[in-house]
A and B are shown apart, each in its own frame.
Chain A
């Protein structure tokens, strides 16, 4: 709670928090804000935006409500982004902790695996993964996480190595604390915050990757996503640019919101350590 209050003191944090809170509310209440299947044909095709009050953002080539698509697309983007970030951080933490605590050959081997994953461009990895296994939300989440866990793993290991040398860890050994308790109570909680601070960046990247996959037709075809809406609008980009522009704006606003929040967190983190 105190961290959130500190966060609200920075302008970035406040703006990011505001944007994301709004988006999360939209995602949660999507069925209320826009009842029914967003992929159903709701009216005449290619209605212009800001003309018909029933379709404030117009309709696409098939007569689907653009606003409904954007509202429901918020769900997909946030859910995939957050789930992928949680998966990436979880994998990264496990591998990083294992490398940091094990040392020796295990550490060497894990570091080479991390290197390998960092060298392969994460989007290519996701692309290959999804096209081989098939497009569904869990596969997309896993595909994105596979390309994103290496950074948190590397940072976790660096944190463990540095905190292990602190005096308070020596003090814990001196009072006879068990190594497992030292790892769990002394090292882990202090190693976590900078790694968790990475999560915002990972969420933003994951949202963009998901949109890019959907744009290429590799998203889950049964749900509406901003990426697939942009791809769909591309066919009539000259006559109805708004079909691509609105989901594009939604994407940009979301990513900016996440970045602002992470900036705010970064500042409060730096402030609390000083």
Chain B
């Protein structure tokens, strides 16, 4: 297994209110698989994503990633191994330092992890940009001069720059126009197949997950209530949470083309 999450729990207490954001969540992810994580707003999806990326600490539970105890890592060792797990954020505005240029956004991970020698960095940046469907000339632009959909392409380029084995995408297309959304999803599926990267794709929208996921996990109020193949969850949901999410997307079962099957 690439990723093995066991009995993860996290409580938040704010203003006298005590919330179990994650309650005894366990799941596994083999290399190269896309797992969709769906749930209503507030069900704990982002909390799981942030704990995975070591942006928030867990109260209890364990995570093994690439065979190592991921939660035990710290300092320089953690920073070094972060190359293998990357993230794409929902907020295409907030995910970039407003002072950054496209070149600095992509150059930082290349420099920090010494992915290519310094002299080859501009070439690598150009290759990354072209891979996500942007002209190499974008490198010199300020991030502020780039549109939302293009920013998400840059975020994806940043995520693949360090050659990760897992990418966590938290509502990565939710803020985008429907027309752009399809293209970004296509790009993600393509990259994922071409490089064998595993994805944890977080969304509240089953239609999006159906287009990209091999399996889908359903969360409700901090608990994982269902996990099965994408087809099974959509055509034969077992939990009331899954049924409610399906009901929220009209014509889901017949409406969208299914993800082309391939071996994982």
Contacts and interface: CB of A to CB of B under 8 A. Distances in A.
Interface of A: 166-168, 170-178, 185-186, 189-190
A173 B83 CA distance: 11
A156 to B, nearest CB: 18
B2 interface: no
B259 interface: no
B79 interface: yes
19 contacts: A167-B89, A167-B91, A167-B95, A168-B95, A170-B89, A171-B87, A172-B97, A172-B108, A173-B55, A174-B55, A174-B87, A175-B83, A175-B112, A176-B109, A176-B113, A176-B162, A186-B97, A189-B99, A190-B97
Nearest to A178: B79
A168 B55 contact: no
Question: How many interface residues does chain B have, given as a range?
Answer: 20 to 34
A119 to B, nearest CB: 29
B53 interface: yes
Interface string B84-98: 011101010011111
Interface class of chain A by DSSP: helix
Interface of B: 50, 53-55, 78-80, 82-83, 85-87, 89, 91, 94-100, 108-109, 112-113, 158, 161-162
A185 B100 CA distance: 10
Of A168, A172, A178, A186, most buried by chain B (CB within 10 Å of CB) is A168
Contacts of A177: 79, 108, 112
Nearest to A185: B97
Nearest to B95: A167
Given A168-B95, A190-B98, A174 B79 contact: no
A175 B55 contact: no
Contact of B94 (A167, A178, A189): A167
A168 B96 contact: yes
B123 to A, nearest CB: 19
4 closest A-B pairs (Cβ-Cβ)? A176-B79, A167-B94, A176-B82, A175-B109
Nearest to B104: A185
Given A167-B89, A167-B91, A175 B82 contact: yes
A176 B112 contact: yes
Contacts of B96: 168, 171
Contacts of A167: 89, 91, 94-95
Contacts of B91: 167
